[in-house]
Chain A
Amino acid sequence: MQAGAAHGSAARYLVLAHPADQTASAVASALRQRHGASAVEWRSPEELVCAAQWDHRVSAAGVKTEIRMGDGSFLAGNAPSVVFNRTGFVDPPQFISAATADRDYARMEMFALLLSWLANPGCPVINRPAPNALAGSAYRPPMWHRLAQIAGLTTVSLVATSSTRRFPVDRTAARRADISYTVAPDTDGQPRPNDFAWFSEPVGAERASILTVGGRVPEEAPAALAEPCRRLAQLADTDILRIDVVASADSPSGWAFTGADSCPEVTEPRSILRIVDLLETVATNFFIAGAP
């Protein structure tokens, strides 16, 4: 897609999200209220995958893409000013009933194409895609912990063991089924004598989340966390990042990092407006500049 001369008379917002995405819905709704319905185009990953025509070119001269949708129109008039990217897992519908190997191949090929396109669609993308997730960096919890430490956040201690018999964990440690993709099959609800799992140190009930948007943290966030949170978002190369913390007496800031999400569910109206403001600023700057 070409910026500059190809632009119409106003900025165009392209929202890429699943139809059930409440955060995208709230953001799109606010943008429509401010800029009119025609300024906002919402497309699902499935619509993109089934686009009538893909033409994605990469060469030493740069990247150029044309996507024609099923109704014959070009995606976002071929000239979006910003992409609000919440593209999740993509499963090409045309391969749903194909053999497993063919379906896996189609998934990986479409992921490869979408990653390449979203990396350079001719306008800013929020969040930028990463090779590990189309909607922005999505690390495994251990990597998030390491990055949080580098950013200056105190982290909750985590322990993993492949054998609680060989490498036992502290009896007070809390089991964390959310950290691994794999959990031990249940055995009638009884703990296994030898188990594998992730655990964390016991944490208190007081929790908080800090949403960094465009390198800014909300004013009400604990002051000692502001700079480390900004640094973490920068390290993860994300414009929008939710950072989860828990009250901790062992931490100089009083809070310890527990996790982060670069495609968070956001419902709080002020947070939605912060995202809308960021999209507007980025779109306007791009639109005025007229070129990437």
Chain B
Amino acid sequence: MILFFGIPSERPLALAIERAERQNVPHAVLNQREIDFWDLSLTLGRTGPTGLLWLNEREWPLSGFTGVYARPIDPMTLPENRSRRSAPRDPHARSRTAFVSELFNDWLDIAPGRIVNRPSAMLSNASKPFQAQMIVGEGFLTPPTLITNDPQRVRDFHGEHGRIIYKSCSSIRSIVQEWNPDDPHIDRIRQLPTQFQAFVPGVNVRVHVVGGTVIPTEIASSATDYRYSRRQGSDIEMRNTRLPADIEEKCRRLTILLGLTFSGIDLKRTPEGEWYCFEVNPSPGYSYFEEQTGQEIANTLVRHLAGGTT
């Protein structure tokens, strides 16, 4: 039995649920927005975790869920937890939401079975330069990176590499932008060290690793950040591709090293044939790629969650 958790209309989750229905895989959907109406108990006894979930007017033993795909959002950002006009959310209900969310995450971290992904394993993404050190450890190239609060060091770094970009170094999403030496605001970095990277020319390849399966997608776009191609006035085209065997194996190993079973790895193949790895996303929005290419990422994910070999 697979448990899907999150906002069921959110595309990656919706696609996986749809595929489970098509494959006739037994599953249950835990809608995060209905958190007021489900209950959870967790017992940490001498032999391991057990528990019960009250969902859809029935009791489900947690041990019955042998695969879980979780894509929750911050519970405090749920519409149900926001103030309505002048009426604030009942503090008890807010606290209960936080408690249940924390408890569910606790269970995900220690539950046996196929958990995509365990919350504690997703934390390496909280620091991109930290994760980059693990990426390098697996034998990938990673772009020369500088985090500094000194404008002169940025100018020197630009002089050294010709083209450089800047982006957040935490898990907070930012749009990757090319840095221009004429930038009049560069002194602002004195307030907070900022991450700059050498621009790596080449073709973007997004790799989804699901269990043992590697699904690469080539992205043709002239935008600095292909996720925002259209906003940056550029077209985007995605297609199925193949990876060299050693790169494919590195992607598998990197996913395992980070404690993940489903990852979205951002690679770039340079004109010289070198492969750079930028980051590993532990909660990939894979549907964007599947819907453009027809690749069977969701089907593979569901097979993995159902206990099959992928």
Interface residues of A (CB under 8 A from B): 51, 53-60, 62-63, 92, 94-95, 105-106, 108-113, 115-116, 119-120, 131-132, 139-140, 142-143, 145-146, 149, 154-155, 157-163, 166-167, 180-185, 196-197
- How many residues of chain B are within 8 Å of chain A by beta carbon? 58
Q: Contact mask B10-49 → A, CB, 8 Å, 1/0?
A: 0000000000000000000000000000011111111011
Please count the residue pairs between chain A and chain B whose beta carbons lie under 8 angstroms apart in the complex. 188
Residues of B within 8 A of A110 (CB): 192-193
Residue in contact with A60 in the complex, picked from B54, B136, B192, B194, CB distance below 8 Å:
B136
Cα distance A149–B45 in the bound complex, in angstroms: 10
Chain A interface, DSSP helix/strand/loop, else mixed: mixed
CB pair B44–A159 under 8 Å, yes or no, is yes
* Set of chain A residues within 8 Å of B102, measured between Cβ atoms: 140, 180-182
Which residue of chain A has its CB nearest to the CB of B105?
A140
Asked whether B172 lies within 8 Å of A196 as measured between CB atoms, the reply is no
In the complex, B224 has a CB within 8 A of chain A: no
Q: Which of B79-87, B144-152, B286-294, B297-305 lies at the interface?
A: B144-152
Contact B193 A57 (CB under 8 A): no
- Can you show 26 pairs from A to B with CB atoms below 8 A apart? A53-B153, A54-B147, A54-B193, A56-B146, A57-B146, A108-B172, A112-B168, A113-B127, A113-B169, A116-B129, A119-B133, A120-B133, A140-B109, A158-B44, A159-B41, A162-B100, A163-B39, A167-B39, A167-B54, A182-B98, A182-B99, A184-B92, A184-B99, A185-B91, A196-B99, A197-B99
New A-B contacts (16) at CB < 8 Å, excluding given A54-B193, A109-B193, A160-B106: A57-B147, A59-B145, A60-B140, A94-B192, A95-B191, A108-B171, A109-B169, A115-B130, A131-B127, A139-B120, A159-B41, A160-B42, A166-B39, A166-B41, A167-B52, A196-B96
Q: Is the CB of B48 within 8 A of A149?
A: yes
Q: Once the chains bind, are B133 and A58 in contact (CB under 8 Å)? A: yes
Cα A132 to Cα B130 with chains together (Å): 12
- Known contacts A108-B126, A180-B102: A161-B41 contact under CB 8 Å: yes
